[in-house]
A and B are shown apart, each in its own frame.
Chain A
Amino acid sequence: MDQHREGRLVNVDLKVTPDRYLPHRYAGASGDFNPIHIDKEFAEQVGLPSTILHGLWSMAQVARACTNAAGGDPRSLKRLSVQFRGMGFPEQEITVTGSVKEERDGVVVVAAEADQAGNKIIKNVEAELSPQ
């Protein structure tokens, strides 16, 4: 909204720090109760350093960052494609950054990624935005 000037898309830039209980809330909200996200003992038993974030929660942060850059209207996000890489963890800041790759027929194509402590947790993001 205030980021959205004259129909142009500003750069994608969002910072968020998921709190310790976020994976529990996201599990309830999404229906994904895989114990690697909510049970520390289970996560450690299967070789993880601790519970990890849901990849689709992290993808939702990328979606939010892109939608906000297009002015905040959910109708502006037409397509979003991501690859999940390293694991994300609670209580560490995540930064989503991206920039316009090309514009064609009123659709803005954005390239982006999500980084946590130098670890790219989401890569090769391609978003198609149509600012409303």
Chain B
Amino acid sequence: MPLNTGAIGKSFPAFEYEVGKEKIAEYARAVGEENPVYFDRGAAQEAGFRDVVAPPMFAVVYSWGAVALPAVDPEVDLNFAMLVHGGQEFEWGEPACSGDVIGTVASVKEIYEKGGMGFYVFETASTNQDGAEVARGTWTNIVRGVS
């Protein structure tokens, strides 16, 4: 059965996430970060940040709610039982700091079949309260056994 590619180009409503100091600390501890700029306001400000800054990969936290929208969209029709996360890319802009309100818009970039597997590539674009781009993500999901 050929893949349904009708959702290519579809974009979803923005998901808003307010960044909190303790959430950054919780995430930073879970990934083994020790730099005080992730935990201590004074250290972060001394290093030139507005407030405690998030590690770059915190992008997965503020964009999670956005990328979930194409993942569960019936038109995209992702088969979760056979799903693996194949690849991930982030490009970072302005750092994300405690107190920021980050809006993320997800869209379906590509759907294609290769070697019996379905590739579903989603994009996310995250912007802060000042309109500055914080991160751009490319999420490659692979569904095994589509043909």
Contacts and interface: CB of A to CB of B under 8 A. Distances in A.
* Chain A interface main SS type: helix
A38 to B, nearest CB: 13
A42 interface: no
Q: Which of B26, B60, B81, B95 has the most CB of A within 10 A?
A: B60
A12 B61 CA distance: 25
B14 to A, nearest CB: 18
Given A30-B64, A32-B64, A63 B86 contact: no
* Chain B interface main SS type: mixed
Contacts of B47: 73
Contacts, number: 87
Interface stretch (B29-37, B100-108, B113-121, B124-132): B29-37
A55 interface: yes
Interface in B27-69: 27, 29-33, 35, 37-38, 47, 53-57, 60-61, 64
Interface residues of B, number: 32
A117 interface: no
B88 A56 contact: yes
Contact of B89 (A30, A61, A72, A82): A82
B92 interface: yes
Interface string A68-86: 0000111101111111100
Interface of B: 23, 26-27, 29-33, 35, 37-38, 47, 53-57, 60-61, 64, 81, 84-92, 95, 138
